[in-house]
Structure 1
């Protein structure tokens, strides 16, 4: 059985494994103060065109979100997120466990938040008898595969500035977002359009690791204390620095994300040609086709994936996720099953 469940079923790109093996016996400082991590931070600063940002390497997305949001907020403050936002549905209440409420705002079909939806939340939370919304959580790509345009982020950043809100971007699948068809955002745009964001490695070829970029000065102070207190500071921090050095020393990070998107495009095209629609408009490496339940059962005999939602009595949406390592022949095989099923039902 071949898995389309996620983009981290495989281990890591061979170049990363080689780099880890080659440096294995080199003695280094611990806790992210090794020369690999420091060099990787400088390299990322160069890539995004800002030397005045702080960069911290943490092991996973939930860990980054929990550490960052809990540290950025005062005890009475809350985060705003879309109903489908990762911190709302797939992090086991990690943010709430730190004492901060996640307040839900209505998103569009593709999981994106806009100023109007955030304003509705602000209007409701009007005094000290309720939590104070302070941070806007977004992700690119969104939890349902949507991508923010540059104009959408510009509008969000302006709105957050007017209302003294922190704009924080979850970048677990940032590589997919930046290499998606029609995307007009660049990595170097993000320091101007957010107050903090992270670059996801776990879902784009790394064994593990995310790079948190803090832009707003008021959020930087004592952040290493917060990392340590939350149990997120690896003694062998070098393992993270080495991987980001390898991902960004050339175009590997974007090549891997581009492959994932290309494989998703093939799935999208083939399923569409078979006459089926999709739950969301996704140009990323996550797609959500709506299929007849018998066809879903047939696909489950050969492929692993998640059933996302019930559409009606006869149809459901499923989630197919491609990765940096997805095999083209397996994509073609899935499309063939879909097309053959349509042919058998029409004859």
Structure 2
């Protein structure tokens, strides 16, 4: 049974495994002060054209979001997120557990925030008897597979600056976003538009690891203290450093993301050709076809995927996720099963 449930079912790209093996017996400093982590941080800053950025390597997305947001906010301040946002839905109250409320904004099917949506939360929290909206949380791609255009991100960034709000971008699937055909952002645009963001490795070919990039000078001080306190500082920090050094030494990070997108679009083309629609436009490595429940039951016999959302009494949106390691044969097998059912 082949899984289209997520983009972290496989281990890691062989180039990364080889790098870990080749450096295995080299003695190094701990806690991210090894030569590989330091080189990877410099390489990322070079790729972003942001020499002044602070780069920290953490193990996973929830941990990164929790440590960053807890560090950036004062006790009475809150994060604003789309209702579908990861910190609101899929992190077991991690942000609230640090003492910071998540203010959920109703959003369209694409899961994007807008300045108007953010303003609604500012208006709803006018004084010191309520939490103070201070940080805006975005994810690119969104939980529903959409990407922010440069114009959209510029508008949100300008709005946040005008309202003295921090702008933080969750980049768990940033590789997919930046290599999407619908994207017009560059990695180098992000330090100019957001206060902090992270580059996701876990969902793009690494065994584990995210690279948090802090762009706002005010937020940089003492972040390693927060990492240590939150259990986010690996003694063997080399493990994440080596992986990001391999991902960005050449074009591997973007090549892997582009492959995941290509496999998803190949799936989407067959599904479209069969006459089915999508919950959101298929433009990243997460696609959400709306299929008859009977067909979904048949497909579940040979493939794993999430039934995402009920659309009507007889149809549901499924979530199909492709990865850096998805083979065309798996895509072909899925589409063959779909076509066989459709033609019967």
Q: One fold, TM greater than 0.5? A: yes
Contact conserved, 1:4 with 1:304, CA < 8 A, in 2?
A: yes
Partner secondary structure for residue 308 of structure 1: strand
2:190 pairs with 1:190: yes
**Take 2:274 and 2:181, find their aligned partners in 1: how far apart are those partners?**
22
**1:253-299 Cα distance to aligned partner (Å, 9 max, x none):** 00000000000000110001001111112300000111001100100
1:298 is matched with which residue? 298
1:117 is matched with which residue? 117
2:221 pairs with 1:243: no
Partner secondary structure for residue 198 of structure 1: strand
Q: CA deviation at 1:143?
A: 0.4
**Take 1:299 and 1:330, find their aligned partners in 2: how far apart are those partners?**
13
2:234 is matched with which residue? 234
Structure 1 runs of 4+ with >6 Å offset: none
Query: For residues 50-199 of structure 1, what are the structure 2 equivalents within 5 Å?
Result: 50-199=50-199
Partner secondary structure for residue 99 of structure 1: coil
2:13 is matched with which residue? 13
**1:17-72 Cα distance to aligned partner (Å, 9 max, x none):** 00000000000000000010000000000000011010000000000000000110
**Take 1:85 and 1:178, find their aligned partners in 2: how far apart are those partners?**
19
**Take 1:156 and 1:15, find their aligned partners in 2: how far apart are those partners?**
37
2:340 is matched with which residue? 340
Partner secondary structure for residue 264 of structure 1: helix
Query: For residues 240-279 of structure 1, what are the structure 2 equivalents within 5 Å?
Result: 240-279=240-279
**Take 2:131 and 2:22, find their aligned partners in 1: how far apart are those partners?**
50
Contact conserved, 2:141 with 2:176, CA < 8 A, in 1?
A: yes
Contact conserved, 1:145 with 1:286, CA < 8 A, in 2?
A: yes
**Take 1:282 and 1:69, find their aligned partners in 2: how far apart are those partners?**
30
Partner secondary structure for residue 208 of structure 1: coil
Q: CA deviation at 1:107?
A: 2.0
2:7 pairs with 1:2: no
**Take 2:296 and 2:20, find their aligned partners in 1: how far apart are those partners?**
40
**Take 2:119 and 2:170, find their aligned partners in 1: how far apart are those partners?**
21
**Take 1:167 and 1:282, find their aligned partners in 2: how far apart are those partners?**
26
Contact conserved, 2:53 with 2:213, CA < 8 A, in 1?
A: yes
**Take 1:66 and 1:237, find their aligned partners in 2: how far apart are those partners?**
19
1:26 is matched with which residue? 26
TM-score under structure 2 length normalisation: 0.99
> Which blocks of at least 5 consecutive residues in structure 2 are unaligned?
none
Contact conserved, 1:147 with 1:282, CA < 8 A, in 2?
A: no
User: Which is further off, 332-341 or 57-66?
Assistant: 332-341
**Take 1:51 and 1:330, find their aligned partners in 2: how far apart are those partners?**
42
TM-score under structure 1 length normalisation: 0.98
**Take 1:193 and 1:112, find their aligned partners in 2: how far apart are those partners?**
16
Contact conserved, 1:110 with 1:282, CA < 8 A, in 2?
A: no
2:318 pairs with 1:328: no
Contact conserved, 2:8 with 2:203, CA < 8 A, in 1?
A: yes
2:309 is matched with which residue? 309
Contact conserved, 1:261 with 1:285, CA < 8 A, in 2?
A: yes
2:45 pairs with 1:38: no
Contact conserved, 2:265 with 2:282, CA < 8 A, in 1?
A: no
**Take 1:171 and 1:113, find their aligned partners in 2: how far apart are those partners?**
15
**Take 1:142 and 1:93, find their aligned partners in 2: how far apart are those partners?**
19
Contact conserved, 2:147 with 2:182, CA < 8 A, in 1?
A: no
Contact conserved, 1:31 with 1:234, CA < 8 A, in 2?
A: yes
**1:74-95 Cα distance to aligned partner (Å, 9 max, x none):** 0000000001000000000000
**Take 2:282 and 2:114, find their aligned partners in 1: how far apart are those partners?**
18
Contact conserved, 1:53 with 1:215, CA < 8 A, in 2?
A: yes
**Take 1:10 and 1:206, find their aligned partners in 2: how far apart are those partners?**
9
**Take 1:327 and 1:89, find their aligned partners in 2: how far apart are those partners?**
30
Partner secondary structure for residue 129 of structure 1: coil
